Amino acid sequence: MSQLSAARGGHKDVRIQFRHLPSSHPTQTNALTHVGHAEFYVSVPSRAKMGTPTPKLPDGPLLNERSLLKQEQTHRGSWLRLLAFILIAALFVHHVVGDYTNMNRTDVQERTLQAKSIDLAHREEAVQAKEDAIRADEERRKRAGLIWWNLTQEKRCLGYEKRMYHAELLHLPADEDAQAWCMRTSVDIHGITYDHPERCTHEAADGTVKTIGHWTVSSNEPTCKTWWGNYQKKDCYGSHKRRVEAKMFNHQEPWDNWADMCFSTPAEFASQKFEHPDTCENKGKGGIIASWFINVDERECP
């Protein structure tokens, strides 16, 4: 507590004592004033530091607006930080997943290439083994001295200039595959080389099994070469068509099949070539008669 005294002329002494007492305002100080024998309290503003003015508090509405603005800025900053974190996390996950996917894809591609390489190597080995087996088989067949014996033509013609032949394969070892060796042995017929028979059969005779090869020969077979003669024009058949009839010659009865020979024998007449007739008919003693339906001028067959 401090005191301040003052005396002026005829005035009574006035003493003021400053005493800090509880007050409703933190920036005010209570002062005890003595006038004569009376004393009373005067409330005066106090200062935390001499020479420093006490800041004036803002009004209520302005304080609330600033608080809301600060809260909004803080909230917005939090959202921005959260979004940045999510973006960084997503980029990280994408990078990790991409690396894993690329590694997995590369691994799958490498395994696929490795499997293909292994499969190719196995195929090459299989092909090489097969080629080696074929060469070894050819060498064994050459050493065995295989030959076709008693090449015989069959009496029956299969068609125009077509006949079957057969022969027996000799010197075939008992421990070898007779069917395979038969189908790999060539023969010459009428100066033409056939690499292998059409088929092979096995016949039992005299306590042994014979391997027989069969071939179809389609050239230089004069007894199977039939032809047409006695051409005759017959009636018209439909619009601008006429039926032409002819008889087949050099048919070897009773062995040849007349229908097979008729439908396989070509013809040439009226400045046209025909691979086969349109119809064939066996007239007994009258022979094999064929018919063609040829195009003619409309004046001949309207």
pLDDT of 239 strictly over 90:
no
Strands 288-295 and 272-274: unpaired
Question: Looking at residue 48, what is its pLDDT?
Answer: 44
pLDDT, mean of residues 173-177: 92
Rounded-to-integer distance, Cα 302 and Cα 300, Å: 6
Contacts 24+ apart (CB under 8 A), 287-290: 287/247, 287/248, 287/251, 288/247, 288/248, 288/251, 288/258, 288/261, 288/262, 289/245, 289/246, 289/247, 289/248, 290/228, 290/245, 290/246, 290/247, 290/248, 290/262, 290/265
Going from the C-alpha of 105 to that of each of 93, 98, 231, the distances in angstroms are 18, 10, 79
Rounded-to-integer distance, Cα 2 and Cα 137, Å: 137
Listed by start position, the domains of the chain span 2-45, 68-144, 147-217, 226-295
Rounded-to-integer distance, Cα 27 and Cα 23, Å: 9
pLDDT, mean of residues 276-290: 96
Q: What is the pLDDT of residues 89-138, one digit of tens each?
A: 888 888 777 777 777 788 888 889 989 999 999 999 999 999 998 899 88
Residue pointed to by tokens 């009839």 = 245
Question: Looking at residue 203, what is its pLDDT?
Answer: 93
Rounded-to-integer distance, Cα 12 and Cα 234, Å: 177
Question: Looking at residue 241, what is its pLDDT?
Answer: 92
pLDDT, mean of residues 28-39: 46
- Output the CA torsion 117→120→125→130 (10° steps): 180
pLDDT of 230 strictly over 80:
yes
Question: Looking at residue 54, what is its pLDDT?
Answer: 53
